[in-house]
Structure 1
Amino acid sequence: MTISNMQRIRSLSNILKTSRRFQIELNKNYASHVKYAEHKQLEKIRNIGISAHIDSGKTTLTERILFYTGRIDQMHEVKGKDNVGAVMDSMELERQRGITIQSAATYTIWKDHNINIIDTPGHVDFTVEVERALRVLDGAILVLCAVGGVQSQTLTVNRQMKRYNVPCLGFINKLDRLGANPDRVLKQLRSKMKHNAAFLHLPIGLEKECQGILELIEERAVYFDGDYGEVMRFDEVPQNRRAEVKERRHELIEQLSNVDESLGELFLEERTPTVAEIKQAVRRTTLKRSFTPVLLGTALKNKGVQPLLDAVLDYLPHPGEVENTAIIGERKGSEGETIVLDPSRDDSKPFVGLAFKLELSKFGQLTYLRCYQGMLKRGENIFNARTGRKVKISRLVRMHSNNMEEVNEVLSGDIFALFGVDCASGDTFVNDAKLQLSMESIHVPDPVVSMSIKPKNNKDRDNFSKAVARFTKEDPTFHFRYDSDNKETVVSGMGELHLEIYAQRMEREYNCPVELGKPKVAFRETMMSPCSFDYLHKKQSGGAGQYARVSGIMEPLPPHQNTVLQFVDETIGTNVPKQFVPGVERGFLDTCQKGYLSGHKISGVKFRLQDGAHHIVDSSELAFFLAAKGAVKEVFDDGAWQILEPIMFVEVTIPEEFHGTVLGQLNKRGGIVTGTEGSEGWTTLYAEVPLNNMFGYAGDLRSMTQGKGEFSMEYSRYTPCLPDVQEQLIRKYQEELGLLPDQKKKKN
């Protein structure tokens, strides 16, 4: 046979092999798509979120879950050292910084159960991402660092879970890290977060010696073999750990007996419950949020992830076990009848869905929804319950990070996305225009930091406007306004990092470099003592005049209500006709938008309208609106006022040797240390510090602790600021208005 014939045969053979491989891959992909596209029974669906403090390993854990369930073929580092990065961190900025900025949704299959997962950010600056994810989820995994334990953002996430009544599993991650101490974390779960928690696992070795886990319910050892820990090997409990396992198992049963009647009876009868009875008790109590099962592992070293997935199926609820309600009424906030939605997959029931997240993709606006009742098919029409607008569904997709997979229909319990829907985050959608239903919306915290912003080049103004319009729509905590007094554009958000990220996104995504000014703090002005008013607004200049008189009392609200405004109509009779009372309220609220001391909003004030007078011809709503504005100005001149500033709850974690230096720096910034905690060479300081004094603290902390210290902060409350700060703010405001004596002389 000639050489050329041999080469031809070889090349043909290679082509056949390649085509065979391609066909196998194609079949595998087709089978995979069919597997993910098919609808499961309601009992075989889990909607879960993964939430935790910064850098606890949420995204790494999600990456492992997707790998073990066969959703992805390779695992990658969060920081993107191999220039790939984690699947769920699809944004380039997330891969560069090694943090999660946007919550990302995916779905996968484990043991024939469909699991919808939302990976959420850990920074307090992106807390609304966690808020809206927990609003639509049925259960959650609360990830805790085995070294850091319960940290400030863990407490915030815990409060959010409580707000939406979301049951959770605790997962203590990073057992391989130096200083890992799961026992200390469990104590913190009980003391700081008031969870009735107990271990379901014990570690087989910690730090470098971490080999696997001991399952207390099944009383067995679990090891994770293979290149990526994908092979689970079960063995007997080592001889030297058997007494500890018995003791901890008894402690678990005791904790469960306190909150579960069935197991309590067995405990009193001194009967040993079976494995099935313990698991049922754990499930019942977890669903009621009266018990938190705690599992162990290290996601980075591929240990403990598969038992966590089993626990998600065993102990977290399916959509049919969660009660979701809607209000029948004309609009949100109106008094209406509350009904319980039917989660069963009955397509005869009307469709009800909640939009919880908006995002701009290359195909247009993407709206994430959760289906709570009924069924939605491609090509059908749905209606926005708030606006009444009709939307035709041209595409239905399910999300895998930033990849979309088309589906023809969605059923109750599914999380999906739509294109081309004009709505706001928290809107309810129905498939019947007559159905006046609205679901509870999403709690949105107020922004605490403001900065001036402007494009570096005037020619980029169009791109700047597009970016701002998109980001304010996507993120309800990102606010934008034009300050006509200072002639500058101001953005507000949850922290410096929050605003910095959006500035970088404007440059990357819209080719619009921007300049951020010094952060401005949202100060407030309030009254110190009650003050009465009696104001007459009278104007006559030919033709119809204006006449309105208002009298009453303005008084401060209690400290815990110092961020709100209240208007009370206490009038009797017809001196102030009822149709003009809304004008008085509008005048009061409008004046409170800008105070007279420092130009900041007025809050913590109650306006009690007690009496007044009107003219049969010259009185109007506008006249009473102007009278109320004049009354507030009168009270400002006569009453005693003060400025409030936001106080932040700050948590600083540092090596012990820097304790004194960092403590001194916090005191210098006007902070009050409320507690300290130390373990194995590390100290955590808890303090309350005025936000105005916290700018630039990140750089100071790094330089003080050789780059080892880290801190996080979240809004706590408003309190009166110090006299010197108040004096500075008043003087600065008067300077801006040109009211200082030396400025008046210059003008003259």
Structure 2
Amino acid sequence: MTISYAFRLINALKNTKKSSVFQIELQKYSSHVKYAEHKPLEKIRNIGISAHIDSGKTTLTERILFYTGRIDQMHEVKGKDNVGAVMDSMELERQRGITIQSAATYTIWKEHNINIIDTPGHVDFTVEVERALRVLDGAILVLCSVGGVQSQTLTVNRQMKRYNVPCLAFINKLDRLGANPERVLKQMRSKLKHNAAFIHLPIGLEKECQGILDLVEEKAIYFDGEYGEQVRLDEIPQDRRTEVKERRHELIEHLSNVDETLGELFLEEKTPTVNDLKQALRRSTLKRAFTPVLLGTALKNKGIQPLLDAVLTYLPHPGEVENTALLNESKDGEGQTIVLDPTRDNKKPFVGLAFKLEVSKFGQLTYLRCYQGMLKRGDHIFNARTYKKVKISRLVRMHSNNMEEVNEVLAGDIFALFGVDCASGDTFVNDAKLQLAMESIHVPDPVVSMSIKPKQNKDRDNFSKAVARFTKEDPTFQFHYDSDNKETIVSGMGELHLEIYAQRMEREYNCPVELGKPKVAFRETLISPCAFDYLHKKQSGGAGQYARVSGIIEPLPPHQNTVLEFVDETVGTNIPKQFVPGVERGFLDTCEKGYLSGHKVSGVKFRLQDGAHHIVDSSELAFFLAAKGAVKDVFDVGAWQILEPVMFVEVTLPDEFHGTVVGQLNKRGGIITGTEGAEGWTSIYAEVPLNNMFGYAGELRSMTQGKGEFSMEYSRYSPCLPDVQEQLIRKHQEEMGLLPDQKKKKN
């Protein structure tokens, strides 16, 4: 990389008239040297920026890149200049003003290297947040000072908890009408169950927002200059000193409950120093026992530099986070958990995790996080799942959609590779003998399905290429052919999710598609336990088939109604152990399609208690078929019901439309679980069946003069209403030709 820059510099020097070209090349070269330099482990931070949709994540990232000198100009997400934010590199993102794909970048602040991943806020792209948080050491949870804790904030909070990611909270948009950080803090404590307290206070709100008060340093911070780039420290205004003292005492009190060192000082009634407070904040934040709450407004360029300082001071470096992998060396297949060593020691074997795939015109781009060891250009690595060997020809670090080549990466780095055939969540090592596997990424099940087909038959090749690419990139975007309905089905996390992919097919592959009516992922389940005793016997010359299974199929508790369980309770040798997997496969295979409505069966437990086998005629296939027959018998005699996905819906609207919106939610079968109002705006929380939510976006806009907005996320599966069940059963029977009048026609 350095040699290529040198050649370009020499060429630029040959023509002295083009001194500006030389300056540009020199600037690029010095920038490359600056960002390619490896920092000590203590000077690295891997952070993600996560929040509910439209809380200001991308605007915040844009400001961070500007203040750290990574970009020369700031642009707005939906700016008048039509340039858009750096991290929204996709044309669709710039048009819609939303983040669709998570984007990675890295920058330098006060000699620290910060790797940042900006994630989408919309629930339909939740897997992007999931895989980003899997590989990050810390996070910034952005909250809107008006909206507060919203539905997707709850989802993001759950994801942070799942991967044990420490976080800072940043209450953004202090300049908005109705800004109320106090209310947001109360919501953090009540809804998110965070032990949180302010470390900043605002100097004015809405139009009067001038700066912030730092409770730790006890200073007033103002942001001067055209873009707030000049940070000015001042004394706390006389009229705010009492408030600052009280709030500082509240901060110490919350910290003392979770930090022993500060707790002792508190009990001894000693005043902690600034350093004591910072160390206690860091210790508690790393343990996820406390969440520091910072304030600012990214759009008005206030509060960003103190947030960057807080990232360095309170969030962990890669050496402070324990990452484990499963070492599977024993012959019996039992693995042991080992702790990976993040020290920047090239003697340790390389271990990396592929967390995101992206297919570009150059081939598949695989994003990885290096957890141990070192990787150089030209090295060979092995996929721990497939044992395939890959030579590293290009190592790049990403700045949004721009690639910057590097010669080597060390533990703690986030980087990307070309030409690596793998799946999201695969572990890579540089030693084929090292059978290591890291915990993979949690992928939520799709909740909405639609039929899809190209508008023109000539586009079928492009259609199949687009589907192959998108399903590989995004594990929540799934594709299958329904042989019963003779149509191609795509499944995803919501209507917007599938709509975006349909638009991308047209833009990127010149393949316009038609999306059919959304299909909801209903489930079928058993209401009460049902015994079975099934004999499968077939004799047609030569070796026959013989298998007998008996036991009970019973429903699982409501909180487990999305899973299937198989339990082998047999004693003795009536069913030899080598045939039990055949019984389990038969049970799971039959549950793929229920007999009531053709949807999957879930929430049932198959208890295999007894059976019989024949010394010659029994086989795994015979027991597979016996299990299928047993489940079919239970379908015929048991009591079954259909479950439907219920969504947690949050609607934000002006007070004047409250009654109309509540009435409409009730009409759609919703149950109102709570309401919250503040300064002319109301948030309504409800649980509504997903099947009743289609077309709600347009309806809400028309009811609220375009002012209302809603978000929803999956909550649980619950039994659907009898009339809905009747409709689904009748529709399935129509499709299968099982209705009495259809049978007469056939005859």
Counterpart amino acid of residue 28 in structure 1 = Q
Q: Is 1:215–1:222's contact at 8 Å kept on the other side of the alignment? A: yes
The equivalent residue for 2:6 is none
Larger mean CA deviation between 234-243 and 465-474 belongs to: 234-243
> 1:267, 1:198 → 2: CA distance?
17
* SS of residue matched to 1:518: strand
Does residue 149 (structure 1) correspond to residue 148 (structure 2)? The answer is yes
Q: Tell me, which stretches of 5 or more residues in structure 2 are unaligned?
A: 1-13
The equivalent residue for 2:728 is 729
The equivalent residue for 1:10 is none
> 2:401, 2:337 → 1: CA distance?
36
Counterpart amino acid of residue 534 in structure 1 = D
The equivalent residue for 1:282 is 281
**What is the Cα deviation at residue 519 of structure 1?**
0.4
CA deviations on 1:281-334 (whole Å, 9 max, x unpaired) are 111111011110111100001111011000000100000000000011169x96
The equivalent residue for 1:419 is 418
Q: Is 1:643–1:720's contact at 8 Å kept on the other side of the alignment? A: yes
Distance 1:253 1:17, change over 3 A: farther
* SS of residue matched to 1:490: strand
The equivalent residue for 2:58 is 59
The equivalent residue for 2:322 is 323
**What is the Cα deviation at residue 747 of structure 1?**
2.1
Q: Is 1:125–1:494's contact at 8 Å kept on the other side of the alignment? A: yes
Counterpart amino acid of residue 545 in structure 1 = G
The equivalent residue for 2:611 is 612
> 2:311, 2:178 → 1: CA distance?
28
**What is the Cα deviation at residue 577 of structure 1?**
1.5
CA deviations on 1:608-647 (whole Å, 9 max, x unpaired) are 1111112222211111111111111111111111101111
Does residue 396 (structure 1) correspond to residue 422 (structure 2)? The answer is no
Does residue 344 (structure 1) correspond to residue 337 (structure 2)? The answer is no
| Aligned pairs (5 A) from 1:441-520 | 441-520=440-519
Q: Is 1:551–1:610's contact at 8 Å kept on the other side of the alignment? A: yes
The equivalent residue for 1:178 is 177
Counterpart amino acid of residue 337 in structure 1 = Q
**What is the Cα deviation at residue 455 of structure 1?**
0.7
Counterpart amino acid of residue 456 in structure 1 = K
> 1:561, 1:267 → 2: CA distance?
45
Counterpart amino acid of residue 340 in structure 2 = L
Q: Is 1:150–1:185's contact at 8 Å kept on the other side of the alignment? A: yes
The equivalent residue for 1:667 is 666
The equivalent residue for 1:653 is 652
Counterpart amino acid of residue 30 in structure 1 = Y
**What is the Cα deviation at residue 29 of structure 1?**
2.4
CA deviations on 1:115-157 (whole Å, 9 max, x unpaired) are 0000000000000000000000000000000000000000100
The equivalent residue for 1:9 is none
> 1:462, 1:646 → 2: CA distance?
34
> 1:17, 1:311 → 2: CA distance?
46
* SS of residue matched to 2:77: coil
**What is the Cα deviation at residue 24 of structure 1?**
3.8
**What is the Cα deviation at residue 538 of structure 1?**
1.3
* SS of residue matched to 1:643: strand
CA deviations on 1:502-526 (whole Å, 9 max, x unpaired) are 1111111111111100000000011
CA deviations on 1:455-491 (whole Å, 9 max, x unpaired) are 1111111111111111111111111111110011101
* SS of residue matched to 1:76: coil
Larger mean CA deviation between 432-441 and 571-580 belongs to: 571-580
> 1:568, 1:251 → 2: CA distance?
53
Does residue 559 (structure 1) correspond to residue 558 (structure 2)? The answer is yes
> 1:314, 1:335 → 2: CA distance?
41
The equivalent residue for 2:103 is 104
Counterpart amino acid of residue 309 in structure 2 = D
**What is the Cα deviation at residue 17 of structure 1?**
9.4
The equivalent residue for 1:435 is 434
Q: Is 1:197–1:255's contact at 8 Å kept on the other side of the alignment? A: yes
The equivalent residue for 1:621 is 620
* SS of residue matched to 1:593: coil
Q: Is 1:80–1:96's contact at 8 Å kept on the other side of the alignment? A: no
* SS of residue matched to 2:301: coil
The equivalent residue for 2:308 is 309
**What is the Cα deviation at residue 216 of structure 1?**
1.1
The equivalent residue for 2:9 is none
* SS of residue matched to 2:233: strand
**What is the Cα deviation at residue 337 of structure 1?**
0.6
Q: Tell me, which stretches of 5 or more residues in structure 1 are unaligned?
A: 1-14
Counterpart amino acid of residue 580 in structure 2 = V
Distance 1:696 1:31, change over 3 A: same
> 1:733, 1:623 → 2: CA distance?
29
**What is the Cα deviation at residue 722 of structure 1?**
0.7
- Superposed CA RMSD in Å reads 1.4
* SS of residue matched to 2:735: helix
* SS of residue matched to 1:366: strand
> 1:243, 1:98 → 2: CA distance?
42
Larger mean CA deviation between 604-613 and 440-449 belongs to: 604-613
> 2:333, 2:595 → 1: CA distance?
35
* SS of residue matched to 1:391: strand
**What is the Cα deviation at residue 336 of structure 1?**
1.3
Counterpart amino acid of residue 681 in structure 1 = G
| Aligned pairs (5 A) from 1:244-283 | 244-283=243-282
> 1:80, 1:431 → 2: CA distance?
46
**What is the Cα deviation at residue 20 of structure 1?**
4.5
> 1:468, 1:330 → 2: CA distance?
38
Q: Is 1:212–1:224's contact at 8 Å kept on the other side of the alignment? A: yes
Does residue 131 (structure 1) correspond to residue 112 (structure 2)? The answer is no
> 1:443, 1:43 → 2: CA distance?
29
* SS of residue matched to 1:222: strand
TM-score between both structures, scaled by the size of structure 1: 0.97
The equivalent residue for 1:366 is 365
Does residue 377 (structure 1) correspond to residue 376 (structure 2)? The answer is yes
**What is the Cα deviation at residue 663 of structure 1?**
0.4
Q: Is 1:80–1:95's contact at 8 Å kept on the other side of the alignment? A: no
**What is the Cα deviation at residue 19 of structure 1?**
4.4
Q: Is 1:80–1:98's contact at 8 Å kept on the other side of the alignment? A: no
TM-score between both structures, scaled by the size of structure 2: 0.97
Percent of residue pairs identical: 88
> 1:21, 1:464 → 2: CA distance?
46
| Aligned pairs (5 A) from 1:2-151 | 19-151=18-150
**What is the Cα deviation at residue 80 of structure 1?**
4.2
CA deviations on 1:626-674 (whole Å, 9 max, x unpaired) are 1111111111111111101111111111100111000000110111111
* SS of residue matched to 1:72: coil
Q: Is 1:352–1:372's contact at 8 Å kept on the other side of the alignment? A: yes
> 2:568, 2:237 → 1: CA distance?
74
> 2:509, 2:654 → 1: CA distance?
41
* SS of residue matched to 1:746: helix
The equivalent residue for 2:11 is none
**What is the Cα deviation at residue 735 of structure 1?**
0.6
> 1:544, 1:22 → 2: CA distance?
83
| Aligned pairs (5 A) from 1:709-724 | 709-724=708-723
CA deviations on 1:671-713 (whole Å, 9 max, x unpaired) are 1111110000000011111111111111111111001001111
> 2:294, 2:80 → 1: CA distance?
29
> 2:663, 2:602 → 1: CA distance?
33
> 1:578, 1:22 → 2: CA distance?
75
The equivalent residue for 1:237 is 236
CA deviations on 1:328-360 (whole Å, 9 max, x unpaired) are 1169x9641101000000000000000000001
Distance 1:17 1:654, change over 3 A: farther
> 1:93, 1:254 → 2: CA distance?
47
Counterpart amino acid of residue 113 in structure 1 = H
The equivalent residue for 1:11 is none
Distance 1:725 1:334, change over 3 A: farther
Question: What is the count of residue pairs matched by the alignment?
Answer: 733
Does residue 601 (structure 1) correspond to residue 605 (structure 2)? The answer is no
**What is the Cα deviation at residue 385 of structure 1?**
0.5
* SS of residue matched to 2:437: strand
**What is the Cα deviation at residue 63 of structure 1?**
0.3
**What is the Cα deviation at residue 81 of structure 1?**
2.6
